[in-house]
Amino acid sequence: MAGPLKDKHVVLGVTGSIACYKALDLASKLMQAGALVDVIMSYGATQFVTPLAFRSLTHRAVVTDSFDPDSEYSVEHVALAQQADVIVIAPATVHCIAKLALGLADDPLTTTIVAATCPLVVAPAMDGNMYDHPATRANLATLKERGVVIAGPGIGRLASGLSGVGRLLETPELLGHISYAMGKDGDLAGRTVVVSAGGTMEPIDPVRVITNHSSGKMGYALAEAARDRGANVVLVTAPTNLADPALINVVQVRTAEQMGAAIQEHAEKADALVMAAAVADYRPTEAADQKIKKSDDDLNITLSKTTDILKTAKGNFVRVGFAAESQNLVANAKAKVDSKKLDLIVANDITAEGSGFGSDTNQATLIDRDLVVEELPLLSKYDVSNRILDRVKDLFRD
Ligand code: PMT
């Protein structure tokens, strides 16, 4: 199954910080995502972690010396610079950032970067005062102006024992920044895509809700795929167990009413609205203020219809719905294209193996406004998302 890093050549630069230990996890996750990973370490980095550790994870020689007579490349920095799809420096020290801002090239990593034209991600890790130093701030601003993606730093416990800004971002966030860097000039650049995800929760009382089995995976995959093609993404999500994806504007909501309000707020400026959320069709008419006590009698709850967000959202955007069906998949989905005035619907047979709620894959059927049907094979939710976005791209209003 393809993801944004599959078959990509990533050059991972590692410079001297205790956060080097986290770069091992990044190298491992890049490999698991299908990337080819070449590691270049500064002298300082080799004092924290051995090149052998990276070599064991990437199955490739690690570059530490510009003048290595045993190197497989004739001119190593040029060869790696030309082959790389993206270069990421994690962790990036104050010293390394200063050298990059000045364009210095005095070691294998900086010479490779000066010779490269691919996207560059710099993930700073340092003490809070070093990060706040005016020189560091100015150097980072210079890199940003040049189009470098600055990933973090995060806030939290630092090696000094103090708490503050300066932590290397965690691996999932770094992976998000790397995918974003590779796709930021993609075919959705300049577009705003609003995506909904998760299952809404309608309160019965302060401890009970009516909800459904949506894990949010489909909506989050859509948001990430749109980000990785350059879109500005707003993800309106009901509660899930998923971490907020990097570089996406995440709006947390609980109920269908809250989701509707958040979507309307953002949809006005959107080029596309993709409703992958499983929104409650009914909610308890009155939510009890206090916990309803168990008694010997049955309990009847009166439900009221919720507003259909997809049908009523105002704006001139491409309107994409999902249909989760347990029977008559195509007929039921076609009826929704008409009733909700959709440009496209993604029909899910929730009874099919590896599809629908909670799975990492989906077998979806796309139906357009002319009711033309395209059955997709079983794909990862990320790949399904890209197939949907391929369609959305051709439907933009201008
Ligand atoms: O989150 P996962 O675990 O990855 O699972 C993915 C999924 C199965 C939830 C998702 O792929 C999916 O099918 N979502 C739509 C589920 C659904 O609510 O379908 P529906 O047929 O009830 O609604 C049709 C469309 O109208 C949907 O786009 C829905 O978001 C929208 N709707 C529904 C009710 C409502 N009040 N407002 C809406 O906008």
State the DSSP string of 314-376: -SSSEEEEEEEESSSHHHHHHHHHHHTT-SEEEEEETTSTT-STT-SEE-EEEEETT--EEE-
pLDDT confidence tier of residue 164, bands split at 50, 70 and 90: confident
**pLDDT of the residue at 71:** 66
- Residue whose structure tokens are 């393809």: 2
Mean pLDDT, residues 354-363 taken together: 93
**pLDDT of the residue at 77:** 65
Query: Is 344 close to ligand 1, i.e. is its CB under 6 Å away?
Result: no
pLDDT of residue 167 exceeding 80 = yes
**pLDDT of the residue at 238:** 98
Closest to 361 (Cα-Cα) out of 349, 372, 343? 349
pLDDT tens, position by position, 119-128: 999 999 999 8
Count the neighbouring beta carbons within 10 Å of the beta carbon of residue 102. 11
pLDDT tens, position by position, 49-93: 999 999 999 999 999 987 676 666 656 668 899 999 999 999 999
Query: Is 337 close to ligand 1, i.e. is its CB under 6 Å away?
Result: no
pLDDT of residue 158 exceeding 90 = no
Query: Is 260 close to ligand 1, i.e. is its CB under 6 Å away?
Result: no
Q: How far is CA 143 from the centre of its chain?
A: 23
Which among 201, 224, 279 is the best mutation to test ligand 1's pocket, defined by most ligand atoms within 8 Å of the CB?
279
**pLDDT of the residue at 242:** 98
Domains by residue range for the chain, with CATH: 9-183 (3.40.50.1950), 192-397 (3.40.50.10300)
Which among 201, 202, 212, 214 is the best mutation to test ligand 1's pocket, defined by most ligand atoms within 8 Å of the CB?
214
Query: Is 110 close to ligand 1, i.e. is its CB under 6 Å away?
Result: no
Main-chain phi, psi angles of 215, to 5 degrees: -90, -15
**368 contacts 387 by C-beta, under 8 angstroms:** no
Q: Tell me the CA–centroid distance for residue 277 and ligand 1, in Å.
A: 5
- Indicate yes or no: pTM above 0.75: yes
> Which ligand 1 atom sits closest to the C-alpha of 212?
9
pLDDT confidence tier of residue 160, bands split at 50, 70 and 90: confident
pLDDT of residue 1 exceeding 60 = no
> Which ligand 1 atom sits closest to the C-alpha of 198?
1
pLDDT of residue 162 exceeding 90 = no
pLDDT of residue 26 exceeding 70 = yes
Mean pLDDT, residues 358-374 taken together: 96
pLDDT tens, position by position, 81-93: 999 999 999 999 9
Q: Residues with catalytic annotation?
A: 212
> Which ligand 1 atom sits closest to the C-alpha of 216?
1
**pLDDT of the residue at 163:** 86
Q: What is the secondary structure of 43-91 as a DSSP string?
A: HHHHHHS-HHHHHHHHSSPPB--TT-TT-SSSSHHHHHHHH-SEEEEEE
The whole-angstrom separation of Cα 230 and Cα 238 is 24
Query: Is 306 close to ligand 1, i.e. is its CB under 6 Å away?
Result: yes
> Which ligand 1 atom sits closest to the C-alpha of 240?
1
**332 contacts 323 by C-beta, under 8 angstroms:** yes
pLDDT of residue 134 exceeding 90 = yes
Going by C-beta distance under 8 Å and a sequence separation of 6 or more, which residues neighbour residue 331? none
